[in-house]
Amino acid sequence: MSKINGSIIVTGGSQGLGLELAKHHYINNPDKIIIIISRSKDKLIKACKKITDDNSDLFKSLDQYEIDIADRLFFQPTDLSDYEQVELLKSKLLNIPSIYRTYLTAGGASVKLFKDYTLQELQQGINMNYSASLFLTHVLLKNKLFFFPFIGYISYTPLKTSLKALVNILRQEFPGTRISNVYPGNFASEGYIEENLTKPDITKKIEGSSKPISVEDCREIIIKNLNDGYDDIVTDFIGWVLMSCDMGLNKNWNFSKFWFLQLLLGIIANLIIIPFFMIYLNWDIRRELKKNEKSTKNVNELDIKKD
pTM for this one?
Answer: 0.73
- Give residue 234's pLDDT: 87
- Residue range 230-239: mean pLDDT, rounded: 86
Q: How far is CA 220 from CA 63, 171, 184, 214, 215, in A?
A: 31, 25, 12, 10, 9
What domains appear along the chain, each with residue ranges and CATH number? 6-235 (3.40.50.720)
**Which of 15-19, 217-221, 248-252 bottoms out in mean pLDDT, i.e. has the lowest?**
248-252
- Give residue 146's pLDDT: 39
Beta bridge partners of 103: 10
Q: Which position has the higher pLDDT, 209 or 87?
A: 87
Which amino acid would we find at residue 147?
A: F
Residue 302 — pLDDT band, cuts 50, 70, 90? Answer: low
**Which of 15-19, 107-111, 220-224, 282-286 bottoms out in mean pLDDT, i.e. has the lowest?**
107-111
Determine the Cα–Cα distance for residues 265 and 137; give it in Å rounded to an integer: 33
Q: Which position has the higher pLDDT, 85 or 274?
A: 85
- Give residue 58's pLDDT: 92
- Give residue 134's pLDDT: 86
- Residue range 130-140: mean pLDDT, rounded: 85
Residue 144 — pLDDT band, cuts 50, 70, 90? Answer: very low
Determine the Cα–Cα distance for residues 8 and 102; give it in Å rounded to an integer: 6
Residue 282 — pLDDT band, cuts 50, 70, 90? Answer: confident
Determine the Cα–Cα distance for residues 163 and 167; give it in Å rounded to an integer: 6
Average pLDDT, the chain: 80
pLDDT in tens, 68-113: 777 899 999 999 999 999 999 988 888 888 889 999 888 777 777 7
Share of the chain above pLDDT 90, in %: 27
CA atoms within 13 A on the CB side of 252: 9
- In terms of Cα–Cα distance, which of 74, 77, 79 is closest to 95? 74
Determine the Cα–Cα distance for residues 58 and 48; give it in Å rounded to an integer: 9
